[in-house]
Amino acid sequence: MKSWKRNALVAAILVFVCGGIYLNWRYEERNAVDLVSTLDAEKILDDAALVLAPAEDPAAQAAAEDAESENQTAGQIFAKMRLSRQESRDSAVHLLQETISYAGENEDVSASTLQLEGIVKTALSEASIESLIISKGFSDCVAYMKEDGIDLAVASQGLSESDVALLTDVILSQTEYELSQIRIIEVN
């Protein structure tokens, strides 16, 4: 009975996540933008200091210039980043659901269920971080959590050290990442 309730909860959450993905997909264009191609400069938090490093990759600079020349607004760029993130997550969820449905009552099901729960937990954490940051006065942002750290792209015309400290505080309060695992990227 306990596993039935857990599976029903996971299924309900997946329905909401998939519904959001579908609505986002219907709302935005189908082309996804690479996060790196939209950057002019990166703000990287190290253990002790903030370092402003210009994008040195010529391909990334050319792609950023192309993005600017297409007159994309920051809102469109962030929407495309969210769509790309959701599409990749939706693909992983679909594969895990197939694994669960085709496998019997064995360890593969429990491992897949744990992975599925991890994806849902990550999605909820990212949404929570994004909501908190927007509530702090930033116009838009996208958080992307990985095993080895978190990337946060923020719409801004220049982040001050206090802005970076505020963003870092939000991330540290909502996750278990360390300061060295946080990467804040400014998107103009």
CA distance 153 to 67: 16
CA distance 101 to 135: 40
What global pTM score does this model have? Answer: 0.57
Q: Taking Cα atoms as reference points, which of 95, 129, 87 lies closest to residue 112?
A: 95
pLDDT of residue 22 exceeding 80: no
Q: What domain count does the chain have? A: 1
CA distance 134 to 117: 26
Instruction: Please report, as a single letter, which amino acid is at residue 69.
Output: S
Percent above pLDDT 70 for the chain: 69
Confidence grade of residue 61 (pLDDT, cut at 50, 70, 90): low
Please report the pLDDT score of residue 157 as a whole number.
Answer: 84
Confidence grade of residue 23 (pLDDT, cut at 50, 70, 90): low
CATH code at position 85: 1.10.287.4300
Confidence grade of residue 66 (pLDDT, cut at 50, 70, 90): low
Instruction: Give the domain extent around 54.
Output: 2-187
The 3-state secondary structure of 132-153 reads: HHHHCCCCCEEEEEECCEEEEE
Please report the pLDDT score of residue 167 as a whole number.
Answer: 93
> Is the model more confident about 74 or about 143?
143
CB burial class (10 A; 0-12, 13-18, 19+) of residue 49? exposed
